[in-house]
Amino acid sequence: MFYLNPRYEADFWQQGLRRLDDFFVCTDGVTVGRHASRHVRRIPIRDYQIYLKREEPVLFRDKLESWWNGFGWCSKARREWQILVRLRERGLPCPEPVAVGEENGMAFLVVKGFTESFDLPMYLAFRPSMEERHAVLRNMGHAIADLHNAGFTHPDLYAKHIFVHRPTLQVSFVDYQRTCIVKKLSLKQRCLELARLDATLHPGAVPFKERLTFLHAYLHRAYTHVTREMVREAALIITAESSRLLKRRRIQGMYAETSLLSGDVSVVTYCRVRVPDEPHQRMTMVEQEEPAVLKRIS
């Protein structure tokens, strides 16, 4: 099985991506994500970039999960292709699907990268003005509400999967491979997904008051009538689930990333330094004036 958007066929031909097998052996670009059986490469093509997501091998449990959720007996790549096509039909924010293929227990998906856009942690690192931040938070609340209102879930709604278009401040989302399509989402189901975003944002990046701005924008877009009790219930669900998620190592890593990029100078980093007149090294706590990634000093 191999589908390719004919609009990009000439560009892919020049890049050497002409047959199904070419996508599985492609080493162009750089690796930007890697999991046990799935990795992602960013490849520049002409004046835009594509992301090649490969599954090697396609796991039985992934096929079973796709079948169980109504997408057929297929890989995550083909499942995400189906989701992206439906999202674009409804005008919802997502990357453009370009190609998809499955063969001999392997699969791949190609999507087009966003232009003039940055993921949310990187956008916050630019330290935008308060007015601009509030506009982005409101747009983000409206976009997620539209997604949920249309019946699409997003179990991977982390900060790094939200992209901000700098010229318009509109937001888009990526990584829909675990998305499901349901008839209706309850308030609790909605808030459990919002908690994933909350857990991956350090308070130094988005303070509590700004989170309320986002929550109010989301609720007023999702429901025709919003009460104080509803806002309070939503906030409690999000806070409780966020605290639970922060016990996971993966979530802690994304949380730490937004703390460094947000310019939070209260973050303490640990550096290995050599102490004079001592033959060994020890760990010393150093408070930095500017946030910095963990580094080794020998």
- Spell out the per-residue pLDDT of the chain, length 298, in tens: 899 999 999 999 999 998 999 999 999 999 988 777 889 999 999 889 999 999 989 999 999 999 999 999 999 999 999 999 999 999 999 999 999 999 989 999 999 999 999 999 999 988 889 999 999 999 999 999 999 999 999 999 999 999 999 999 999 999 999 999 999 999 999 999 999 999 999 988 899 999 999 999 999 999 999 999 999 999 999 999 999 999 999 999 889 888 765 554 444 444 444 444 444 433 333 333 333 333 333 3
Pairing label, strands 38-45, 48-55: antiparallel
**DSSP code of 36?**
S
CA distance 58 to 215: 37
Q: Indicate the burial class of 59 (C-beta count within 10 angstroms; 0-12, 13-18, 19 or more).
A: middle
Q: Which domains does the chain have, with CATH numbers?
A: 2-112 (3.30.200.20), 117-260 (1.10.510.10), 268-298 (no CATH)
Q: Please state, in angstroms and rounded to a whole number, the distance separating the CA atoms of residues 77 and 55.
A: 8
pTM listed for this prediction? 0.84
Nearest-Å Rg of the Cα atoms of the chain is 21
